[in-house]
């Protein structure tokens, strides 16, 4: 009887085990821990409380970090770790530094927005490290149409370019073959461009195509990223593929009234030192804070403050040419950063030996400082024969957007006629318009391997 009961109990246990076994879910949902919520910089929200510090005039990174309990040793370590990644000597007044404090009251993480779309993260938890990242950007293709009322800048703004107005103005001034001091009332324009936004702020605007009617003449310009171009930079061409931009811009300041206050000359009488000295640059006087732009594509090899130069930036463009920009009030790039023609690299100031706000523009050719106004600067390379098919296809995809009056043609209509500058229509290839994608968050560079989760 006992044996029978034991066998019955054993059978019940085995049966119960089979009934309670978890089912196979295949590719469906499985039991897992709740997802950890992180902020835009990848830092865990529940683990840290962040405090926002607005950078004031004359503040330095070290002085700010010390208020949060960071030691001198740690500050030296982060300066070494971030060398070449972050410009510690030029914090932007009014920009924000985020300090992350944990439950124990310790603040081991800091985030500084180096540009509207990029940031640096300082990590003091274990091994001191610096990470430089890029925020996710939303890319939208937009079109603005209008006529000249006063200046190009104001007309673009009135047409709806808004925060992208400055960047569009700078690009149009360097790619259109007209003088913007001779614009006529009712000159017409259409600009197709990609606008990039991060956290609601415009981080960039790239022109895709332009139609500009000036004094009765029609000008068409199309952007094209050529094969093997450095960093896939956008270059601009007319309808036949001829380059519309020179290798170097003639002026290093953006859409502002300026004057040349001193030219490149030997034995100039120096207004501060009161003696004759070589002046190996061209001084462009402009209002304090005027954007200073890179005159050509290149890599920043100097960004800091030195003696009489004040705050300055030097850019290497290739094995032959380099340019320098002196006396800045603010530096907006860092050493090792790749810049493109027209990018804002700083702002006009009077740091160093200067009697007023200006930028001293220096130009090196084969290691020697020369006067760029005396050089015959070549235009950029035209579209090559093997690229022409792709260029024409891309241009034709944008042409339906270039009517001055959008009612003239529905750009979605495949039978819509395409606008051209002349009566001779260039070779056209069918090519459907495509929508640009978006760039996701990516880590650009770092000084060490990340130490665990944030």
| Tens digit of each residue's pLDDT (9 = 90 or more) over 298-313 | 999 999 988 888 999 9
Q: Is residue 15 part of a domain?
A: no
Kindly state whether residues 154 and 226 are assigned to the same domain: yes
Domain endpoint, select from 374, 392, 416:
374
Collect the ranges in the chain with pLDDT lower than 50: 1-2, 4-30, 230, 423-452
Kindly state whether residues 190 and 120 are assigned to the same domain: no
pTM of the model: 0.61
Instruction: Please state, in angstroms and rounded to a whole number, the distance separating the CA atoms of residues 317 and 4.
Output: 93
CATH number for the domain spanning 286: value is: 2.70.70.10
CATH number for the domain spanning 54: value is: 3.10.450.350
Q: According to the model, what pLDDT value does residue 400 have?
A: 87
Q: Is residue 13 part of a domain?
A: no
Instruction: Please state, in angstroms and rounded to a whole number, the distance separating the CA atoms of residues 104 and 63.
Output: 23
Q: According to the model, what pLDDT value does residue 116 have?
A: 72
Domain endpoint, select from 113, 135, 157:
135
Residues 6+ apart with CB under 8 A from 205: 161, 164, 167, 168, 171, 193, 194, 195, 196
Which residue shows structure tokens 């100039």? 268
Q: According to the model, what pLDDT value does residue 138 have?
A: 86
Instruction: Please state, in angstroms and rounded to a whole number, the distance separating the CA atoms of residues 154 and 156.
Output: 6
- β partners of residue 138: 197
Task: Work out whether the CA dihedral 116, 120, 121, 122 comes out positive or negative.
Answer: negative
Kindly state whether residues 236 and 143 are assigned to the same domain: yes
Long-range pairs for 125-129 at CB < 8 Å and ≥24 separation?
125/451, 125/452, 126/451, 126/452, 127/448, 127/451, 128/74, 128/77, 128/78, 128/81, 129/81, 129/446, 129/447, 129/448, 129/449, 129/450, 129/451
Kindly state whether residues 183 and 129 are assigned to the same domain: no
Tokens of 47: 């683990």
Q: Is residue 394 part of a domain?
A: yes
Q: According to the model, what pLDDT value does residue 25 have?
A: 30
Strand order in the sheet with 109-115: 49-54, 96-101, 109-115, 118-123, 129-134, 442-446
- β partners of residue 344: 293
Kindly state whether residues 155 and 206 are assigned to the same domain: yes
Q: Is residue 73 part of a domain?
A: yes
Kindly state whether residues 161 and 93 are assigned to the same domain: no
Instruction: Please state, in angstroms and rounded to a whole number, the distance separating the CA atoms of residues 250 and 75.
Output: 41
Kindly state whether residues 266 and 313 are assigned to the same domain: yes
Total of domains in the chain? 3
Q: According to the model, what pLDDT value does residue 361 have?
A: 95
Tokens of 143: 């079109």
Kindly state whether residues 295 and 267 are assigned to the same domain: yes
Instruction: Please state, in angstroms and rounded to a whole number, the distance separating the CA atoms of residues 60 and 56.
Output: 9
Q: Is residue 208 part of a domain?
A: yes
- β partners of residue 397: none
Are residues 91 and 54 in contact, defined by beta-carbon separation less than 8 angstroms?
no
Kindly state whether residues 129 and 142 are assigned to the same domain: no
Range of the domain at 93: 49-135
Kindly state whether residues 267 and 315 are assigned to the same domain: yes
375: left (phi over 0), alpha (psi -120 to 50) or beta: beta
């Amino acid at each position: 009887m006992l044996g029978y009961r034991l066998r019955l109990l054993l059978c019940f246990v085995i049966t119960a085990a089979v009934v309670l076994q978890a089912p196979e879910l295949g590719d469906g949902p499985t039991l897992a821990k709740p997802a950890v919520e992180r902020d835009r910089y990848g830092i865990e929200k529940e683990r840290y409380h962040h405090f926002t510090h607005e950078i004031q005039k004359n503040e330095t990174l070290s002085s700010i970090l010390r208020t949060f309990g960071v030691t001198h040793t740690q500050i030296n370590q982060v300066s070494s770790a971030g060398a070449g990644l972050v410009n510690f000597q030029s914090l932007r007044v009014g920009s924000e530094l985020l300090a992350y404090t944990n439950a124990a009251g310790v603040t081991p993480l800091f985030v500084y927005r180096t540009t509207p779309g990029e940031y640096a993260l300082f990590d003091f938890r274990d091994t001191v490290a610096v990470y430089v990242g890029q925020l996710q950007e939303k890319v939208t293709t937009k079109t603005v149409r209008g006529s000249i009322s006063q200046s190009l800048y104001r007309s673009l703004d009135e047409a709806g370019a808004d925060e992208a107005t400055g960047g569009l103005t700078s690009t149009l001034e360097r790619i259109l073959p007209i003088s913007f001091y001779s614009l006529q009332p009712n000159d017409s324009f259409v600009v197709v461009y990609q606008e990039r936004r991060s956290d609601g702020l415009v981080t960039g605007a790239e022109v895709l195509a332009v139609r500009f009617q000036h004094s009765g003449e029609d000008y068409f310009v199309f952007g094209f990223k050529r094969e093997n171009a450095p960093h896939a930079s956008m270059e601009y061409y007319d309808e036949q593929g001829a380059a519309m931009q020179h290798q170097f811009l003639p002026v290093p300041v953006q859409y502002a009234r300026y004057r040349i206050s001193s030219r490149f000359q030997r034995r100039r009488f120096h207004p501060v030192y009161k003696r004759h000295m070589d002046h190996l640059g061209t001084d462009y006087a402009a209002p304090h804070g005027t954007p200073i732009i890179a005159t050509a594509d290149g890599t920043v090899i100097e960004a800091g403050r030195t003696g009489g130069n004040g705050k300055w930036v030097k850019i290497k463009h290739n094995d032959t040419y380099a340019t320098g920009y002196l006396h800045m009030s603010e530096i907006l790039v860092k050493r090792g950063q790749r810049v493109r023609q027209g990018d804002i690299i700083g702002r006009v100031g009077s740091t160093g030996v200067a009697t007023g706000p200006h930028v001293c523009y220096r130009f090196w050719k084969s290691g020697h400082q020369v006067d760029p106004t005396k050089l015959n600067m070549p235009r950029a390379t035209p579209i090559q024969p093997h690229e022409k098919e792709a260029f024409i296809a891309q241009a034709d995809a944008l042409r339906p957007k270039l009517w001055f009056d959008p009612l003239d043609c529905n750009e979605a209509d495949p039978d819509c006629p395409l606008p051209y500058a002349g009566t001779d229509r260039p070779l056209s290839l069918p090519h459907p318009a495509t929508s640009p994608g978006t760039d996701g968050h990516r880590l650009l560079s770092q000084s060490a391997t990340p130490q665990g989760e944030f």
